[in-house]
Amino acid sequence: MEPFDFTHPQRQSTKGILVIFGFNLYKFLKRFFVLLLAFGLSLSKKNSFFNLSQAHIIVITIVILLIILAVAVLMYLNFKYYVTKDDFHLSRGIINKEKTVIPKSKIQNVYIKQNLLQQIINVVSVNIETAGDDKSEIEISALDKNIALELKKQLFVKRLSETEDEAVMTHDKKIFFKASPIRLLLEGLSQNHFKSFLIIMSFFFGLYYEFKEYLEDFNIQERIEGTVQLESDSILNFVIANLIVIFLVVIISSLFSVVKTFIVNFDLEVIEHQKRIEINKGLINKVSLSLTPSRIQNLVVKTNRLKRYLGLYTVSVKQAMVSAKQRKSFVIVALAKYQVSELIHKLVENYNSTLRKYKPEWYYNRISAIEMFIMILVFNIPAYFVFGSEKWWINCVLFPIAVGYIYLSYKKAYYQIDDDFVTVGSGVIDTTTTILEIHKIQSVEFKQSIFQKRRKIASVIISTASKDTKIPYINESKAFSIYNFLLYRVETQNKNWM
């Protein structure tokens, strides 16, 4: 790869016009989706809209497209970036000119992404992210791949070269982990299907309400009711019909999970550089991002019973103030157990997972029990009004679930503390382990309600720059000593949190 000169202001790849055009068109369609929908519907019904002929409509469409294209060209022409020794400079904007300067030392992350359109015309987008809010984030939407890689290297290398030898940095890299399709398939199958089910359901209900009137024309409601009537003649038929419905729901939900897992995590790779970890993944949206250990705030390891049996663990890496949309990209799925501990050792030094595990107080169960009681009430009260007292048997199902919830959540709750790390375990169906480094703590909170005060129980809430972690319901004096210990460690160490 020949070295590329970034010191002069330059534009994106010419293909950028196409990408910006695509983005703008998409934005436009999204914003006026409802309007266009109404427009389309009335068009299909009456063959005209506001007395406009078909020719007019075509002309209007072309004009709109031309305007979007012109905007795209102008955006492209006004978008210039360059890199100096310490800073990244960017100027953009058609009417409101905007100049941004980011010091290299403040760059948190550089991603390389590729969506479907970008894959077709073979360019990538580069996202430069700082620890600030979403607005300070920068996206260069179309660069040739090797230029993008070179830019990324320039942005990172200069900063690290103060401490490291540059040559070593660039050459020493090895693939640490690569997810095979089989593991991804298993990962998809063992996911929480309930979540997928809810997503599908809400999607369909949303569609249904959007098109309610349109659908009523087809009398679908009556047709469905007709078929249900036919099949619910006998109890056996009724049971079979319900089983078929459940079966279909399970199949569709798991299919959805599998497809989603595949699309998001296709070709998942974890590459290890000298000091950084790089993650590549994605089918439609290809993402490539690097993690610098000093910026990591929390590590969350997740698995569930089925996944543990299959040897599948998920590690999410939380960095400071990354917006919710991007947080997903930090998830590394389908790791084996030994890989998890290796990865943790790579990301945080001297982590010791064999410490004694402390449990919360028995009071924890009382809180879970109250939660469950409220849940059962929430189920029961509307059910009583809708079905009357006939369907009380639903509590026979709910009660064991509640007991299981209480038992599991207590069983999985624990915490570990040593000089540098806090580890908190939680979860009900999932088993979640949260790891945080003590010197990255932002603030510590000691929390106690008046009911807990009588029983000498309290919680400690630890905030880092990306997540709040709670050590729930432990003995008051213990909580107090943890609280003091954490503050002592943070205040006496001179380590930076980022």
Partner 1 sequence: MFFGILFSMKWFIDDDELQQGLPYVIQIFLVIFVLNLLVGILAFKKRKYALRERDIIYSKGLIVNSTTTVPIKRIQHIEEVRNWLSRYFGLATLKIFTAGESGSDLSIQGLPAEEARRIHDYISEKVNGTI
Binding site for partner 1 (CB under 8 A): 131, 320-321, 441-450, 453, 461, 463-468, 483, 487, 490-491, 497-498
Shortest distance in whole angstroms from residue 489 CB to partner 1: 10
DSSP string, 313-362: EEEEEEETT--HHHHGGGEEEEE-HHHHHHHHHHHSTT----SPPBPPPT
Residue 74 or 498 having the CB closest to partner 1 = 498
Length of the chain: 498
Q: Are 424 and 431 in contact (CB under 8 A)?
A: no
Structure tokens at 116: 């479907």
Report how far residue 425's alpha carbon sits from residue 343's, in angstroms, rounded to the nearest whole number.
18
Q: Are 211 and 221 in contact (CB under 8 A)?
A: no
Shortest distance in whole angstroms from residue 465 CB to partner 1: 4
Report how far residue 418's alpha carbon sits from residue 251's, in angstroms, rounded to the nearest whole number.
45
Residue 28 or 363 having the CB closest to partner 1 = 363
Residue 165 or 445 having the CB closest to partner 1 = 445
* 52 beta partners: 49
Residue 130 or 288 having the CB closest to partner 1 = 130
Shortest distance in whole angstroms from residue 361 CB to partner 1: 17
Residue 349 or 491 having the CB closest to partner 1 = 491
Shortest distance in whole angstroms from residue 487 CB to partner 1: 6
Shortest distance in whole angstroms from residue 457 CB to partner 1: 12
Q: Are 139 and 23 in contact (CB under 8 A)?
A: no
Shortest distance in whole angstroms from residue 456 CB to partner 1: 14
Sequence letter at residue 1: M
Shortest distance in whole angstroms from residue 367 CB to partner 1: 12
Residue 209 or 399 having the CB closest to partner 1 = 209
Q: Which residues contact 155 (CB under 8 A, 6 or more apart)?
A: 83, 88, 104, 107, 110, 128
Residue 426 or 452 having the CB closest to partner 1 = 452
Q: How far is CA 245 from CA 45, 251, 258, 430, in A?
A: 35, 10, 20, 27
